[in-house]
Amino acid sequence: MELLVSDTNVIIDLEIGGIIEELFLLSYQIGVPDVLYDQELQEHHAHLKELGLKTFVLESSTMVLAAELNNKYKRTSLMDCFALALALQERATLITGDRELRAAAKKENAVLKGTIWLVEIMIIENIISTKKAFQASKKMEQGDRRVPQNQFIKMLDRYRA
């Protein structure tokens, strides 16, 4: 099963959109660095492990890489660099909507996708309807998430009958 490494913002996008449980019905494994889970998710999102979120221990060389990435990309948080380093370590796709992390991931030649892509895959795999996806996009917008609504609507338009 292909691994998708997520940063925190994508998980929060989907949680606010009311489709976090559906994330774990995808034909992908969803993972985060254990340190990111411990620092940013465990307190308010511990249920994610029960849903299927996997945590990964970073190898010592990957911890060094994360520190180097954090030094190289000053506007990217250390937690985001841990996610990028894990994606590189595991040769996995990085899922993020964070502008600075996306820029860093592109420079590091990481495979990169975002929240809209995840929702599209949920539609393709018949996990959610376009109606539910639209409702999720509106909840994200109302929750001040930075998911580009115009791109979201363009994606949805491709699947509406």
- The candidate with the shortest Cα–Cα distance to 34, out of 1, 74, 79, 73, is 79
Strands 54-56 and 3-6: unpaired
**What pLDDT does 83 receive?**
97
Digit-coded pLDDT (tens) for 128-139: 999 999 999 999
Rounded to 5 degrees, what angle do the CA atoms 108, 152, 49 make? 65
Within a 10 A sphere around the Cβ of 99, how many other Cβ atoms? 11
Q: What is the CATH number of the domain that holds 98?
A: 3.40.50.1010
Give the span between the Cα atoms of 72 and 87, in whole angstroms. 17
Q: How many domains does the chain have?
A: 1
Mean pLDDT computed over 10-26? 96
Q: Is 82 helix (H, G, I), strand (E, B) or coil?
A: helix
Domain limits for position 35: 3-115
Residue 136 lies in a domain: no
pLDDT tens-digit readout, 40-72: 999 999 999 999 999 999 999 999 999 999 999
What percent of the chain stands above pLDDT 90? 92
Cα(69)–Cα(81) distance, integer angstroms:
6
Domain-embedded: residue 125: no
